[in-house]
Amino acid sequence: MTRGTIRVWYLVHKWTSLICTLFLLMLCVTGLPLIFHDEIDALSGEPDSMAVAGPPSSSDAPGLKSLDALLGTVLANAPGQVPVFMAFDNDTPLMTITTAPQPDSSGADMTIHVLDRATGEVTGRESEEGVMHFLLQLHTDMFMGLPGMLFLGAMGFLFFIALLSGTVLYAPFMRKLDFGTLRVSRSRRLRQIDYHNLLGIVALAWMGVVGLTGVINAAATPLRQMWQMGELAEMTRAYAGQPPLPPSRYGSIDKAMAAVRAARPGNNPQFIAFPGGGFSSKHHYAVFLQGTTKLTEHVLTPALVDGESGVLTDIRQMPWYMVALSYSQPLHFGDYGALPLKILWAILDLFTLYVLWTGLLLWLGKRRAGADAHVREVESGGLVAAAE
């Protein structure tokens, strides 16, 4: 690699890193507790399906209360509210019903009711407050909504470019050194460079995956809007021009669920979106089915059922970009596996924090040096800069 090429890659690495580092530090710090959000919720006493034994809420096992009866119970205790979502737990009898003043209300106006389908009782309400909710909002959009999500997605893309350029620079830097060399007896800067490079290359694949999945997750709203304008509009073409179905004419949820189960036996519903919301049309119950394995349970298949008659309208696979989004969300937080995978995710998150922090310190230590000095540092494996 020529000196001019090294210079270009150094400048790319420098500026992409500097622009995104502070935001990436925030994302790593807030992401660390979010990896263990289920365990933290359980310890803090939040309603959690892990603590409840029994049949799954979405099964047809005898003894479970009907969905229509449960919905009636919730609406009786929430006057002036309409149903927005109904979500299931396929391991326990717990389920949730979300209500709001209008079908298209914002998340801040929604109320989540937790029910035990075995007894029919409302066991509590999930709060959209607290430390974990604060961290999630900060991590997702910095409390700025879609602009914040897209901005953090751009920072994730710059992070990926910084990783790529850092990997390119790693080759000439390590040309005369053994892999994993740590020159602990040399200068402080040289030690920082060695630890920065070693932990960076060890966690490279993980950082790349988490960075790219973060970019995809940041585009969730535009991707869902694309699905609504494309696939969802095509599935509901016969209803175009009709007025929205009012909540007073909503039909039986149990009938709609029976129609979907007859069409796709063996698949479990993850949640139902009621008419008028962002996940359905203005006329349909959208029943989102999940796969039966740990990997495929995150890929959802929407089935649209006429919200008044209970007749199945259409069922089809999600387009590729929605499948990518479905996979990226759990992969970003290590939700594919149990606690050991989450612990590995946390360790790699700490590695990334150190890489970002040492990168910032290295820049602060030599910020007045020209690009040529840094090129010589790369070519010499850090020795020239250490001697200057």
Residues of the chain predicted below pLDDT 70: 44-62, 127-129, 294-295, 337, 385-388
According to the model, what pLDDT value does residue 49 have? Answer: 42
* CB contact at 8 A, 172 and 380: no
DSSP structure class, residue 242:
P
Can you point out the beta strands (E) in 307-380? Answer: 312-315
Which residues partner with 113 through β-bridges? Answer: 97, 125
| Nearest 10 degrees: Cα torsion 159, 318, 276, 89 | -80
pLDDT tens-place string over residues 97-124:
999 999 988 887 899 999 999 898 888 7
> Looking at residue 59, what is its pLDDT?
59
Q: For 124, which DSSP code?
A: E
Q: What is the pLDDT of residue 48?
A: 47
Query: pLDDT at position 50, please?
Result: 41
pTM: 0.83
What does the pLDDT read at residue 60? 62
pLDDT at site 265: 87
pLDDT score recorded for residue 127: 62
From CA 281, how far away is CA 235, in angstroms rounded? 9
